[in-house]
Amino acid sequence: MQATQTDEPQAPSALQIASNVSELRAAVAAARTQGKSIGLVPTMGALHAGHLSLIEASRRECDYTVVTIFVNPTQFGPSEDFERYPRTLDADLAGIRRLGAELAFVPATSELYRPQHATFIEVHGPAEPLEGQRRPGHFRGVATIVLKLFNLAAPDRAYFGQKDYQQTLVVRRMVADLDLPIEVRVCPTVREPDGLAMSSRNVYLGPAERQQALTLYRSLQQGAELFAAGERNAETLATEMRKLYEAAPLVRLEYLAVADPETLAPIARVSSRAVIAVAAQVGKTRLIDNYLLES
Could you give the residue numbers annotated as active site?
A: 51
Q: CB under 6 A: which stretch of 93-101, 157-165, 207-215, 250-258 binds ligand AMP? A: 157-165
- In the complex, the smallest distance separating the C-beta of residue 269 from ligand AMP, rounded to whole angstroms, is 29
Q: Does 161 bind ligand AMP (CB under 6 A)?
A: yes
Sole binder of ligand AMP in the list 27, 28, 44, 277 (CB under 6 A): 44
Sole binder of ligand AMP in the list 15, 31, 51, 95 (CB under 6 A): 51
- In the complex, the smallest distance separating the C-beta of residue 261 from ligand AMP, rounded to whole angstroms, is 16
Sole binder of ligand AMP in the list 17, 52, 54, 153 (CB under 6 A): 54
CB nearer ligand AMP, residue 47 or residue 274: 47
Q: Does 160 bind ligand AMP (CB under 6 A)?
A: yes
Strand partners, 139: none
CB nearer ligand AMP, residue 16 or residue 189: 189
Q: φ, ψ for residue 271 (rounded to 5)?
A: -85, -85
Taking the C-alpha atoms of residue 149 and residue 280, their distance in angstroms, rounded to an integer, is 29
Residue 44: name the closest of 167, 182, 154, 175 by CA: 167
Binding mask 186-205 for ligand AMP (x = CB under 6 A): -x-xx------xxxx-----
Q: CB under 6 A: which stretch of 6-14, 49-57, 208-216, 240-248 binds ligand AMP? A: 49-57
- In the complex, the smallest distance separating the C-beta of residue 197 from ligand AMP, rounded to whole angstroms, is 5
- In the complex, the smallest distance separating the C-beta of residue 275 from ligand AMP, rounded to whole angstroms, is 14
CB nearer ligand AMP, residue 173 or residue 238: 173
CB nearer ligand AMP, residue 31 or residue 146: 146
Interface size with ligand AMP, residues (CB under 6 A):
17
Contacts with ligand AMP, residue ranges (CB under 6 A)? 43-44, 50-51, 53-54, 160-161, 163-164, 187, 189-190, 197-200
